[in-house]
Structure 1
């Protein structure tokens, strides 16, 4: 006698599960539609960037490397190298940075600002001063790749767009996992719970299985990529950095200081403004000190490098040259292991180390972000780290391509082909609250979430649904 009731309850549960599935699919569709092209770009540029050392060695071997002479051959001093570089450049070119690297087969790289305003890297043989060639700093291949990855080479607005793509990727991943998770709608959607695609399928169903399986296998890595990249974003990341610094979760206010420097003040140069290839996240917002010895005799480049060697850095760092009378030399050591990161500021007149920062001084949040960044960029664990990052990045690109193929194969001509809406607000309240919470954590994404919800309710809603709503 209870069978009809049981059947009714089962049917109702399946209907509710199907309604929930439709809602999740609709949000997954919107997130994927926006993210798809940008995620494909991030996949390609990210894969290239983790192999930066190998790619640049292939692209510029005659600039980056030199033949190692006899064992007793002495290297020229950096002051002599700077003079040789200056002689090969237009008059009024100013030295911005010196890459101090004592690797036997590596060239010496010095970065200059030309009278035109462009920045150029000039490469010299460190043993005889021969100029090996030049590269425009902003046009070299890996710099273009990095800028595409960060902001589409569109500046602030491009950075905002990429930040939105990253946060909407979280929505796409979360809804994708929920769509895959086995539940009472599994009988209707047979790709749920699968860990490999079904070989017997063809067409769009096979692509759906492949898309689902790739997403599940690489979801954890994708979440890590997004979350470890967000601290570098222009809006959310900048605000988090400011908060971390003010609360000493990032770089502590009390760095190791000696000598005489002016106190930091609004408008003072930040470390991120210096011409470094990469600046530690923890110290990017810290103020560069100023010298109070302007007008005295200036130390030579070799004397500054000798002072840095005495402080414990023999090579492998970048040295920013002061551009003003009260500016200081700044050495940035950014090794593959962030625990070795170190920044030193030296008075250009006395050669004293006036301020320095080590990884041990970072706050707990900055330490975690620094380690996450090293993993994200494929630096922390050598070649294995590079390969893992490349595989995850390519998997994200494959998600974009398979999603595009599925959408295109089921899309009627001239329509968006969004999944159908269902009247299931009560049954999906938890997911909607979760989306709202995500919007609070990432406010920029939250604003676009509201916009998409409004568009979904009004512009993309079925016409009949709008008539019923207006009649009510």
Structure 2
């Protein structure tokens, strides 16, 4: 958002050609905003200058991630698409084909093709793939041909290209240490965005159109500020939502958010798939050579994948996009809808592998409101909530954030040496406003730890710069 200039007047109106005669008038009573504005401006300046590099990396990698969904379809078209045939092979037969191709893998789940011409994805636990990923074997459901094998990551089934970009965006491929960068960026994004919004709305201007429409004319700091503020106004809601959803799965703030969500009864419900507490063993399912379907399957009869899918359909799992998780460790089949595009189809059922009896049922409509909002928010952040529209919106937000940062630095350069508002702005804030402000700041800093730590660092830097400035002034 906007990095304002304390050296120039707030008004954007041209001065009158003939100054009006002065008339005595009582000084206007200062408003809460006039007292807060210098402090907001100073904080916005420091955050914009010091945190913006982290935001720039997050925005650039986020832009790549938003575009990676469509790139994935092109790069891996051979694995994902096949000519449409007349009949499809049973799922059990497709799984057996995948197992023959990779006998060392343990089948964990199957994703049938969601539309004609889509391959079946057989997921396997395999020691040769990276940690937290599974090996996906892509089978032609019409001919049984294996189209390829690729590591698959996460519930959205990200393939290597998208997985690599996701890792870059999440932690710069530096592991747990690298996650601090993205959490720092998410911690400050909403502060910078809302602070800039206040500064932009607080400027006096001749008409409201100037709020939303950037100025034209030759390049200048004023024109850059106009673009910075107007684009920021259009993007602020999306940026705040990106910040909030990004924090939900961060290391430190995410833990606090989870505690609050659980305390408010908004925890995501889970499906019970235990079959009578029976420990895991080995089993075989009906048909197609009797090969077992899971890696650590339980002893006893197994109706097999195809009958399990039929039972799930009869139980109301009617979305074309599903994940069929195989029995393991005394648990039954779990069939989950995975269509995250509106209207959401995210119901799931657990089935007894012996006869297909429904052990438990979980409907998305029964989720607590907070759990629904969390799921929708995360799916929106990761680009899977509304499909292509969602991905284009994410790309537009990422691009706008990149431009906002570059415009902010350009304004700083044009105003060099780029000093922020005068120090001591907090002293001019009324105590009745200052005390609640300090309390809210302390609470937010505790709840979002990287925000609090970096805020203390900013204050320390500001104090050091103030001491250096005063020392030089005395020396002169």
Which TM-score band applies after superposition, normalised by the shorter structure? 0.7 to 0.9
The answer (yes or no) to whether the contact 2:112–2:119 under 8 Å persists in 1 is no
The counterpart of 2:105, out of the listed 93, 115, 131, is 93
Aligned to 2:14: none
SS in 1 for 2:377: helix
SS in 2 for 1:31: helix
Aligned to 2:25: 6
Aligned to 1:427: 428
1:219 partnered with 2:219: no
Aligned to 1:123: 138
> What is the CA-CA distance between 1:388 and the residue it aligns to?
3.4
**1:66-77 mapped onto 2 (5 Å cutoff):** 66-69=82-85, 73-77=86-90
The answer (yes or no) to whether the contact 1:258–1:355 under 8 Å persists in 2 is no
Aligned to 1:83: 96
TM (norm. structure 2) is 0.75
Per the alignment, do residues 155 and 343 of structure 1 end up closer, same or farther by CA in structure 2, a change over 3 Å counting?
A: farther
Per-residue CA deviations over 1:429-471 (Å, capped at 9, x if unaligned) read: 64753544532443442233233223322x33242447999xx
1:156 partnered with 2:173: no
The answer (yes or no) to whether the contact 2:275–2:330 under 8 Å persists in 1 is no
The counterpart of 1:312, out of the listed 309, 313, 316, is 316
- What count of residue pairs does the alignment treat as equivalent? 420
The counterpart of 2:70, out of the listed 54, 64, 73, is 54
The answer (yes or no) to whether the contact 1:245–1:252 under 8 Å persists in 2 is no
Per the alignment, do residues 68 and 411 of structure 1 end up closer, same or farther by CA in structure 2, a change over 3 Å counting?
A: same
1:439 partnered with 2:445: yes
SS in 2 for 1:112: strand
Per-residue CA deviations over 1:198-232 (Å, capped at 9, x if unaligned) read: 33343444323322221122212222222233323
Per the alignment, do residues 463 and 44 of structure 1 end up closer, same or farther by CA in structure 2, a change over 3 Å counting?
A: closer
**1:38-437 mapped onto 2 (5 Å cutoff):** 38-50=54-66, 53-69=69-85, 73-89=86-102, 91-118=103-130, 119-137=134-152, 140-182=160-202, 194-245=211-262, 247-251=264-268, 260-261=276-277, 294-314=298-318, 315-322=320-327, 324-335=328-339, 336-337=341-342, 339-381=344-386, 383-411=388-416, 417-428=418-429, 430=433, 432-433=437-438, 435-437=441-443
The answer (yes or no) to whether the contact 1:250–1:364 under 8 Å persists in 2 is no
SS in 1 for 2:178: helix
Per-residue CA deviations over 1:45-101 (Å, capped at 9, x if unaligned) read: 4344445543322221111111112xxx22111221112112222x42222321123
- What 5-or-longer segments of structure 2 have no aligned partner? 1-21, 154-158, 280-296
Runs of 4+ in 1 over 6 A off after TM superposition: 255-258, 466-469
Aligned to 1:285: none
> What is the CA-CA distance between 1:130 and the residue it aligns to?
0.8
- What 5-or-longer segments of structure 1 have no aligned partner? 264-292
Distance (Å, rounded) in 1 between the aligned partners of 2:416 and 2:301: 73
RMSD: 3.7
Distance (Å, rounded) in 2 between the aligned partners of 1:301 and 1:150: 36
